[in-house]
Amino acid sequence: MIIDVAVENLIQYAKSHLLLDDLDEMYVRNSVLDLLKVDSYTQYEIDEDAIDEMTCPDEIIAPLVSYALSNGVIKEGEEDYFATKLMGLVSLKPSEVVDMFDDLHDHSPAKAFEWLHDYSIKNDYIKLTAISKNKHWEAKSTKGKLEITINLSKPEKSNKDTAKLVGQKASTYPACAICKENVGFAGHGTLRQNLRYIPLTLGGEEWFWQFSPYAYFNQHGIAINAEHTPMKVIPATVRKLLDFVDYAPQYFIGCNAALPIVGGSILTHDHFQGGLKTLPMHKAPSLARYKSTDEEFKYVDTAIVDWYNSVIRLVSSNKELLVAYAGKIIDGWKEYSDESVEIIAKDENGQHNTLTPIARKAPDGRYIVELILRNNLTSEKYPDGVYHVHPEYQNIKSESIGLIEAMGMFILPGRLDRQLKEVESYLKGEKDFKEKELAPDMKIHAKMIKKLIKEHGTACSDVEAALAIKEEINDVCEHILDNTAVFKKDAQGVEAFDRFLASVGIVKA
Ligand SMILES: [Zn+2]
């Protein structure tokens, strides 16, 4: 394809999908030519209908990048950088995106977020093609269905990597990967020239919302504090979450626990995660009804959720009341110890008790707040965390269990895609299993392979082998959720949960 046609396709794509204004068309075309170091141009007829029907810009970008590479405009390894730069150039400016969003939001918050999401796919910020390669399945479990995905685009981080980042000095620009200064930024291998976000006011503070290019689920995004300030879970966090669901009533939003081992992967910058998704825990019914002995909170629906880990569900139409009530539980839990069930709120190593609060709106408009109790204690038996993934399951998942997973949607590392194919080959008898001959990165799976061979033999068909492995993973994911429960489901754990609730004035209804 001659370069003139490729450029014209890009301009037409931007007019059709990215709201490029006719008055800006010539200016943007010339800027693209400048970027490509092309100084003469013939405008060719192009297939406008085909471009109108495109769902993402892959076909538009490819010939431009390939031209840039073969004509020395860029070097090998700069392809993604160049593609992102091009797409940033033909996208609306951040202010124009905000104006458009605000206009839509006045009529329908859901439409506004849907528009920004679609715009972010169309300008290649959200990588639709890469995301569609992720593996996804539903696992029947003892508590409804779990969702399991193998994410092929996200790098795996261990708890040690995350801990290393805590307390790290903000010496670079931008201070971290989610700071607001990333908009348009292209340094350090970040590709954010086409990032567009929208401002939010949460709890009277300046925040903003951007979608996740990794996209674990539909319209997955993060709400981010405009200041680079550490994560924290305090009563005021609940007010911010509820302000968010007032602004985006179609979304759930949650805050990761703010401590290593049980928190998210970025603890240095205050942020929430949310999106257009009903997670497995949201569907879990209440296990038992409770009530507050406090006159003020008496009429707030209070329940324990029938879920793997320890979750308190509060429902009310009164926002202020809910903030105060959840705040009381948060403050109470942070101080609560019960050594009979290995819960130590804090010790010489620091704070251990923390929470994951999640908010959403019920169809009747009432607010729902769910508090998942978390603790990051380590012990001699469990040096990685008493309530972290236990060692026997870490071959499947070693990263901390953040809020999405605590609610039953697993994001498993991309390495599994390759490793599980090798496991399949043993079950199908294509390869002889010899533990000593396992490649270094397969050794972690030795125990699981032996167990699977014992249960299923080595003459499985393709379908049988794949199914056996899936079932094993489903089983592991359920166990991982059990590991994260601070109050176990046995009689001792159930009684201990009730004792904690009583300590914050909550009793069986
Ligand atoms: Zn930051």
Cβ-based burial of 438 (10 A; exposed 0-12, middle 13-18, buried ≥19) = middle
CA of 23 to the centre of ligand 1 (A): 36
Q: Which of 485, 501, 508 is nearest to 329 (CA)?
A: 501
214/393 Cα distance (integer angstroms): 24
At 140-173, the pLDDT tens digits run: 888 989 999 998 876 555 555 555 555 544 458 9
Q: pLDDT tier at 187 (50, 70, 90 boundaries)? A: confident
Give the distance, in angstroms, between the CA of residue 500 and the centroid of all CA atoms in the same chain. Answer: 30
Q: Phi-psi bin for 458: left (phi > 0), alpha (psi -120 to 50), beta?
A: alpha
CA of 217 to the centre of ligand 1 (A): 23
CA of 166 to the centre of ligand 1 (A): 12
Give the distance, in angstroms, between the CA of residue 104 and the centroid of all CA atoms in the same chain. Answer: 25
At 327-357, the pLDDT tens digits run: 999 999 999 999 999 999 999 999 999 999 9
**pLDDT at residue 166, rounded to an integer:** 53
**pLDDT at residue 120, rounded to an integer:** 98
Across 9-23, 188-202, 483-497, least confident range: 188-202
**pLDDT at residue 153, rounded to an integer:** 73
Summarize the confidence of residues 37-43 as an average pLDDT: 94
CA of 229 to the centre of ligand 1 (A): 7
**pLDDT at residue 164, rounded to an integer:** 53
Summarize the confidence of residues 88-106 as an average pLDDT: 98
CA of 257 to the centre of ligand 1 (A): 17
CA of 230 to the centre of ligand 1 (A): 8
Residue 271 one-letter amino acid:
H
Q: Which of 92, 82, 67, 84 is nearest to 15 (CA)?
A: 92
Are the C-beta atoms of residues 361 and 368 closer than 8 Å to each other?
Answer: yes
CA of 24 to the centre of ligand 1 (A): 33
Residue with tokens 């999401």: 117
CA of 88 to the centre of ligand 1 (A): 22
CA of 176 to the centre of ligand 1 (A): 4
CA of 199 to the centre of ligand 1 (A): 16
CA of 272 to the centre of ligand 1 (A): 13
**pLDDT at residue 408, rounded to an integer:** 97
**pLDDT at residue 263, rounded to an integer:** 83
CA of 179 to the centre of ligand 1 (A): 4
CA of 187 to the centre of ligand 1 (A): 15
CA of 236 to the centre of ligand 1 (A): 20
Are the C-beta atoms of residues 260 and 159 closer than 8 Å to each other?
Answer: yes
Residue 259 Cα distances to 162, 230, 385, 393, angstroms: 10, 10, 12, 21
Spatial strand order of the sheet with 135-141 comes to: 135-141, 144-151, 409-413
Residue 64 Cα distances to 122, 247, 455, angstroms: 16, 39, 53
* pTM exceeds 0.85 for this model: yes
At 428-479, the pLDDT tens digits run: 999 999 999 999 999 999 999 999 999 999 999 999 999 999 999 999 999 9
At 372-387, the pLDDT tens digits run: 999 999 999 999 999 9
**pLDDT at residue 170, rounded to an integer:** 47
**pLDDT at residue 496, rounded to an integer:** 98
CA of 267 to the centre of ligand 1 (A): 9
CA of 268 to the centre of ligand 1 (A): 7
Q: How far apart are the first and last CA of the chain?
A: 72
406/431 Cα distance (integer angstroms): 36
Instruction: Give the single-character DSSP code of 186.
Output: -
At 456-467, the pLDDT tens digits run: 999 999 999 999
**pLDDT at residue 157, rounded to an integer:** 55
At 255-292, the pLDDT tens digits run: 999 999 998 878 999 999 999 999 999 999 999 999 99
- On the question of pLDDT at 235 being above 60, the answer is yes
Domain residues of the chain, as ranges? 3-90, 135-155+230-410+489-508, 412-484
Q: Are strands 252-254 and 286-292 parallel, antiparallel or unpaired?
A: unpaired
CA of 264 to the centre of ligand 1 (A): 14
CA of 170 to the centre of ligand 1 (A): 8
CA of 188 to the centre of ligand 1 (A): 14
Q: Which of 459, 120, 502, 103 is nearest to 302 (CA)?
A: 502
CA of 123 to the centre of ligand 1 (A): 24
At 45-63, the pLDDT tens digits run: 999 999 999 999 999 999 9
